[in-house]
Structures are given as structure tokens and as C-alpha cells.
Amino acid sequence: MTETKIQLQHVVKAYGDNVVLKDINFEIQAGEFISFVGQSGGGKTTLLRLIAGLEATNSGDIIIAGQQLQGQNQVARVMFQDARLLPWMTVVDNLTFGSKDAQEKQRALALLERVELGEKADAYPSSLSGGQQQRVALARALMSDPEILLLDEPLGALDALTRLKMQQLVADIVAESNLTTILITHDVREGVLLADRVVAVKDGDLGLIVAGQRHQTDRLAIDQTIDDVQNFILAESE
């Protein structure tokens, strides 16, 4: 039986007169991978911040595993476009925040191995490439064994090849851990390839929801879905 992990019920968010999210109703099942795509300013990041509990709704409810969200979402972790590592701490200390606890350090080292950065545990962030820093950020996000992973354009600043490799790593780790995942991306292809469902967020609404291509290899179907989503985004932006 599937468990509903995230429920958005009549969610409204405004900044002053600017109504950013109008009346959002959406459910995400445990283990699902959802991509939010759409043009800048559509409200994607705002939606993610509400689910993370970093901001409050004006009205409506956010329910996490059956419980109304109040304050910060304790079972979710967010990964941003920039890695936000602490420059004065080594890579492993960025995961443990300098804790001397042996088990915690063990877990951090295992996660660094998982993101293929075991040999960089004692390095400082400034000696790492952008892609490596994002892998550290991913490992750090996993330290608390979250149930929900919120990805706010985490691959946006990477070069094309590094980005493809990171997409695969994210897909593998999410699948292994059965994480419920939301990805915000401007890259419709990325959103379609990684997700179970793709949501085009437009003018404060969830305008189009289509099946993504996670676990699928039918190139024609993938290309068709990408076209459909791109056409929708462009058509709506007149």
C-alpha cells in the first residue's frame, strides 16, 4: 500500500499584494520523485520553502505523513544551487559539524564514499570543484537520514557533463533510499528523465501534471513528454 507523504490542501502564499501561490492542492506518495518545472517567478521555490517549513502559508494546510506541518519540516532536507559548505571545516566536518562522535564520523565517511568522495574527507571545500562541492552537499543532506529530499536547482551551476553524472548519482541514491523527492529545475529534460511526475508551475498554479520517465527508456515517449511540457510552459507565458 502506498503512503501519502506530502499533502498540500488549498495552499495560498502571498507577499503583500503579490499572490505567488493561488490555491494549491496536490498529493505526493512516499518514494515518489516529483519535478517542478516552469519559468522564473512562477512560485516553484516558494512552494519548496513552504514544504521545508522555512516559510508559513497564508492559508491552507501542509500535511507531512498525516501530521500538520508546524515550523521547520524535521523529516526533510533541502539542497540548494550553491553547496553552502563551511569553508573553515574539512569536508567530513561539514557533514558532522565537527562532532567527535565515532558513529557519526563513520556515517559521514560512508556517505562520502557513496558520493565517490571518500578520498576528499580531510580536504577543505575550497580545494573541490563545483560538482564535488555539490556531492558533499548531497551527502550532508543525507546525514540525518531524511524521508524527504528537496532539491532547489542543485545542478544548475554545473557544466553539462558533470550535470549528467550528478543526475545519475541523485537518481541512484534516491532509489536506494526510497526517498520522497522534489526537484526544481529549469531543465525540462532533466525534470522529465528523473521524475515519476512532472509538474509545470505557472502563475501560482500547478498548470500541467504529466508522467515523468523515471525507470523508462522509451526515447520517443521521453522526447514527446519533454515537448509537451516545453510547449505548455511557452504557450502559457504570452
Ligand X SMILES: Nc1ncnc2c1ncn2[C@@H]1O[C@H](COP(=O)(O)OP(=O)(O)OP(=O)(O)O)[C@@H](O)[C@H]1O
- Residues at the site binding ligand X, with contacts judged by CB under 6 A: 15, 18, 20, 38, 40-46
Residues facing 102 on adjacent strands? none
Cβ neighbours of 190 (radius 10 Å) = 22
Q: How far is the CB of 13 from ligand X (least distance, A)?
A: 8
Match 511557452 to its residue by C-alpha cell. Answer: 234
> Of 78 and 95, which has the nearer Cβ to ligand X?
78
SS3 category, 115: coil
Kindly state the smallest distance separating residue 138's Cβ from ligand X, in Å.
20
Q: Tell me whether residue 26 or residue 124 sits nearer to ligand X (CB atom).
A: 26
Cross-sheet strand order for the sheet of 4-15: 18-29, 4-15, 59-64, 67-68
CA distances from 3 to 46, 128, 166, 196, 211 (A): 25, 39, 28, 15, 19
DSSP state of 86: -
Q: Which is nearer to ligand X, 47 or 95 (CB)?
A: 47
Kindly tell me which of 111 and 229 has the beta carbon lying closer to ligand X.
Answer: 229
Output the smallest distance, CB 35 to ligand X, in A.
13
Nearer to ligand X, 196 or 205 (CB): 205
Give residues with Cβ within 8 angstroms of 160, minimum separation 6. none
C-beta neighbour count of 141 within 10 angstroms = 22
**Closest CB to ligand X among 117 and 184?**
184
Shortest separation between residue 8's beta carbon and ligand X, angstroms? 14
Three-state SS for 142-179 is: HCCCCCEEEEECCCCCCCHHHHHHHHHHHHHHHHHHCC
- Residue 235 to residue 238: CA distance in whole angstroms: 6
